[in-house]
Amino acid sequence: MHVNCLMKCPTETFELGRYWFLLLCMLVLTGAALELFKNMQNEGIKPNQFTLSSVLKCCSSLSELKIGKGVHGWILRNGFVFDVILENALFYFYVKCEDFGSAKWLFESMEDKNSVTWNIMIGAYLDTGNVDKAVDLFRRQGLKDVSVWNTIINGLMRNGFERIALKLLYEMLWSWFHSLKDLELGKQIHGRVLLSGIHVDGFLRNSLIDMYCKCGKMKMALKVFEKMDTYFGRNENSIEEVISWSSIISGLILNGEFEDAFKTFTSMVRKDIDIDVFSITSIVSACASFGVLELGRQVHGLVQKIGHKLDAYLGSSLIDMYAKCGNLDDAKRIFKQTNYMNVVLWTSMVYSYALHGRGREAVQLFEFSMSRGLLPNEVTFIGVLTACSHAGLVEEGCQYFRLMKEVYGIKPGVEHFTRMVDLYGRAGRFKEIKKFIDENGIHHLRAVWRSFLSSCRLHRDIEMAEWVSENLLRCQTLDARPYVLLSNIYAIKQRWEEVETVRRLMQSRGVKKHPCQSWIQIRNQVHAFIMDDRSHPQKNEICAYLYKLIGRLREIGYSSDAKLVMQDVEKKQGEGEMLLGFHSEKLATAYGIISTASQTLIRIMKNLRIYDDCHNFMKYTSQLLDKEIIVRDIHRFHHFKHGCCSCGDYW
């Protein structure tokens, strides 16, 4: 259809706002987007970030400074919510129209910068010959993608700074090698740098530290890090030194050395090194992973003391930390306090609600964010699908899955497919799961089959579980989880021969189950427990209290589900009830109760799924003691209160 005809009757041809956007995209190259934008306003159709970005792109290509400023004014007058896409379009417009004053002001005021933002500003400085500012800005940037490296290296070459460009080239190569985990190539480049006679400054050393960290060679990374004074001399709190500390902390966390990461961060604070946002978000992420709320609060307090602005990047990290440490109230408080709202921040809060079983609140927040003009991304949809799954909102979940594909053009990934299978599975709609797997061609995805098998456990459908297990074990034979799930299903039905068959199959294939561990933080100290743990200094007191508590729980209806003990240990069935008393989460709960005041909330973290018997134990304990207990397992949070769990006994 001819463009002019489309513009004469836009309301007849395109009934929805998103079609106006598609037409705008086509018209940007013809320079007719501005006219269509006016028609949209006359028709009363509200533009979104993409339509406004398209208009600004048109203004950039035509150097229409006056009209572009008018669009900027319209955005401000109408209280439109900026996201990074729209801000980048506006920023690029000012740069292209050579209004560098407005461009610099906008860059410094942007709360949420991505690689496109930095690339535009660095390129602008290089194009005007301001190399020092370009390099300084490049150093200020955190994560860099290929386009930014290309911009700075090409710009330096154009301006006659070949030596600096070569240094940056080596830094870039090291960053690539750690992404590929290719240690040998990284070492070869290290040797090449030394042979070339290039001065190995702090930035090159930091690239080397980063490479060793991400290749899993922490000893080598620490060796380079410990010689830091030699590299930086007395120039304390230089950018290079701050980046070194940040890199080593991130590396320790990446390699699972949380305790050393916490110690290094503490040392950084004591040495009065400038604490940058990347160090803070790294350590906050570690607090979230490990579930240490008190340490997370201390880091948050440090953020406030230093005076770091609570932007979307830092705000989303703190929301994630508080939510994963079991404190949803503080996560909500951070969300409300954050000045700049973007899709990352909204997504963090949506996912936090979902994690805690507050599915309807997550959906309401998602709907509200879309009404504010924010565009969801693939992670946002993972959050809202998780919320629908946890809340049993099957029809809503299906609707959002279609919306993601058909309206927003987001291609579903493993996480999306898994959430949909979980959604159908909660409702026991197994035929629809099989149809969904066939239609989407996802028979090869292990996570999908594991989710299906979990649903079979919930509904105690052995026949379906056996069929699902066959498909799952074709995908992978070394993952212990499907074996354990199938064993549990057989145990529920007291089919002990099949339980033993599954166990022998695991042994013959060399499949090993990860040991279960639970931990609790009491007065800034983490106490970890494993099954039948007798290593704790207060073991006698813990065991004595636990026996007494179980006796009291039996009086109000609790009974140990001894048949499920086969999922963990190879013991005779007669020993089952005794062993169930010593599951790690029960030990952690008992220790938490005897170590805190009667009304103190108990928070327990666990590395695997909470067991059925322990789940039942927590419900009865919360009822008997009138005490709230929160347990985070590998999938979600369980809030036990007055004898009920927030998961509705589905997990």
Q: Given this model, what pLDDT does residue 333 score? A: 95
How crowded is residue 306: how many other Cβ atoms within 10 Å of its Cβ?
13
Pairing of the two strands 602-606 and 525-530 = unpaired
Residue 561 makes CB contacts below 8 A (sequence gap 6+) with 580, 612, 613, 616
* Strands across the sheet containing 644-645: 525-530, 517-522, 602-606, 629-632, 637-641, 644-645
At residue 236, the 3 state secondary structure works out as coil
Q: Could you read off the pLDDT of 276-295 as tens digits, one per residue?
A: 888 899 899 999 988 999 99
Alpha-carbon torsion angle 50, 56, 60, 64, nearest 10: 160
For residue range 473-521, list pLDDT tens digits in order.
777 667 788 888 888 888 877 888 888 888 888 888 888 877 889 999 9
Classified as helix, coil or strand, 120 is: helix
Given a cut of 80, is residue 397 above it in pLDDT?
yes
SS3 599: coil
Give the helix/strand (H/E) hosting 190.
helix 183-196
Mean pLDDT in residue range 323-350 = 91
Tell me which residue of 124, 130, 61 sits closest to 98, measured CA to CA. 124
CA gap 487, 496 in Å, rounded:
9
* Among 330, 374, 377, 378, CA closest to 352: 330
pTM of the model: 0.72
Say yes or no to pLDDT of 387 above 60: yes
Q: Record the tokens describing residue 590, joined without a space.
A: 């008992």
pLDDT at residue 177 is higher than 80: no
Report the SS3 class of residue 309. Answer: coil
- CA separation for the pair 611, 162 (Å, rounded): 62
Q: How far apart are CA 634 and CA 320, in angstroms?
A: 15
What are the two backbone dihedrals, phi and then psi, of residue 519, each rounded to the nearest 5 degrees? -145, 155
201 or 72, which is more confident: 72
For 575, which DSSP code? Answer: G
pLDDT score, position 196:
62
- Alpha carbon separation from 177 to 33, 172, 174, 211, 534 (Å, rounded): 44, 9, 5, 7, 45
**Using one digit for the tens of pLDDT, what is the confidence trace for 544-591?**
999 999 999 999 999 876 555 444 444 444 444 444 558 899 999 999
Per DSSP, the three-state class of 526 is strand
**Count of Cβ atoms closer than 10 Å to residue 301 Cβ:** 10
Mean pLDDT of 146-159: 76
- The rounded distance, in Å, linking the Cα atoms of 65 and 59 is 7
Structure tokens given for 616: 């039942």
CA distance 563 to 494: 7
CA angle 226, 232, 233 (to 5 degrees): 100
Average pLDDT score over the chain: 82
Joined tokens for residue 235: 């120039």
- The neighbouring-strand residues paired with 528 are 519
Q: How far is CA 409 from CA 85, 401, 402, 405, in A?
A: 16, 11, 10, 5
pLDDT of residue 373: 76
Instruction: Band the pLDDT of 394: cuts 50, 70, 90.
Output: very high
- Residue 5: the pLDDT is 44
Q: How many C-beta atoms lie closer than 10 Å to residue 483's C-beta?
A: 21
Report yes or no: 594 and 542 within 8 Å, Cβ to Cβ: yes
Tell me the C-alpha distance between 559 and 456, whole Å: 24
DSSP 273-307: ----HHHHHHHHHHHHHHT-HHHHHHHHHHHHHHT
pLDDT level of residue 6 (50, 70, 90 thresholds): very low
| 3-state SS, residue 232 | helix
pLDDT tens by residue, 594-646:
999 988 999 999 998 898 889 999 999 999 999 999 999 988 999 999 999 99
pLDDT in tens, 454-476: 999 888 898 999 899 888 877 76
CA separation for the pair 425, 283 (Å, rounded):
36
